[in-house]
Amino acid sequence: MGEHKYRFNPDTLNFERIRISGWRKVKRVTLALAPGLLFGVIGIFLAFQFIDSPKEATLRRENQQLMVEYELINRQLADMENVLSDIERRDDNVYRVIFEADPIPSNVRMAGIGGVNRYRDLEGFANSELVIGTRKRLDKIAKRMYVQSLSLDEVGSLVLRKQEMLASIPSVEPIPQDRTRLSSGFGERMHPIYKIEKPHLGLDFTSPIGTPIHATGDGTVEFAGYNTTGYGIHVILDHGFGYQTLYGHMSEVEVRKGQKVKRGDVIGEVGSTGLSTGPHLHYEVHKDGVPMDPVNFLFNSLTPEEYARMVEIAGNAGQSMD
């Protein structure tokens, strides 16, 4: 039985028992428990702030792992951007220069990705900024790769066209060197018949009648036969890319108009038809309709020493044979 408390009442001169109301008991109990409750709440708060639950610890580890993976992805993206930049640089400054194509403008290579708020579905998450930034970077790399792929396709077409052009350019002698001799070069020459200086628009190669004459590049026969221009029996080849060659004073023609020929094919034989003073081949090269010095196109069948000698002879040759 609990101990009771009493107090002295001076009016009645008696000790009266002190009775405590229920509310005061509750108040006393609350005051007694308050410090404990306060410390408990503080402890729980601190525990939630600084001590992870098993689930939180797992989520934290997963987040840390994701951040590491994002960092690795960003490094790989940086490497990809560097490699792509190097390919673009070589494409503009090497490949496209070789094949005479204009470089791709930087505003085309680095153009943005279209679409209104195309990243809306990635917003509203804890790492939205990081995810959206990475996605934008990937999209830009993909766009640059697409542009570069189109450029390489174009370069591939230019390679094929360049091969065709190289095969078509008249770049060899029409008669092998061991069967001919250069007698007259390109430029102002004394005409053997009119005895006046006239432009000589080609090279004269002396050789016996019947010596085979070869096409100096791939092309199509534009003319084969005789006319009154002074060239006598002659052949004109259209090589494309603005190039034409003329082979004059032939004795025989071995091709017909419209026929396709390859470099080295026999197209006729040396003669002395038309305005000619002896058996020889008159050979011309035209580019876009303008007569060019053929000696500049003989580089593909001569050694450097032979070519230098040919240039010297062409420059010193005086009177032409036609």
Q: Kindly report, residue by residue over 128-160, the tens digit of the pLDDT.
A: 777 777 888 888 888 888 888 888 888 888 787
Measuring CA to CA, which residue among 239, 236, 216 is closest to residue 227? 236
Beta strands 290-292 and 266-270, pairing class: unpaired
The confidence score (pLDDT) of residue 254 equals: 95
For domain 177-316, the CATH superfamily is Glucose Permease (Domain IIA) (2.70.70.10)
C-alpha 217/C-alpha 270 separation (Å) is 18
C-alpha 114/C-alpha 262 separation (Å) is 50
C-alpha 265/C-alpha 256 separation (Å) is 13
Beta strands 14-17 and 6-9, pairing class: antiparallel
Using 50 as the pLDDT threshold, list the residues of the chain that sit under it.
Answer: 1
The confidence score (pLDDT) of residue 153 equals: 87
DSSP annotation string for 60-83: HHHHHHHHHHHHHHHHHHHHHHHH
DSSP annotation string for 104-139: PPHHHHTPPP-SSSTTGGGTTSTTHHHHHHHHHHHH
Domain-wise residue ranges, the chain: 6-50, 61-168, 177-316
Place of tokens 């003073």: 277
Q: Report the predicted TM-score, pTM, of the whole model to 2 decimal places.
A: 0.56
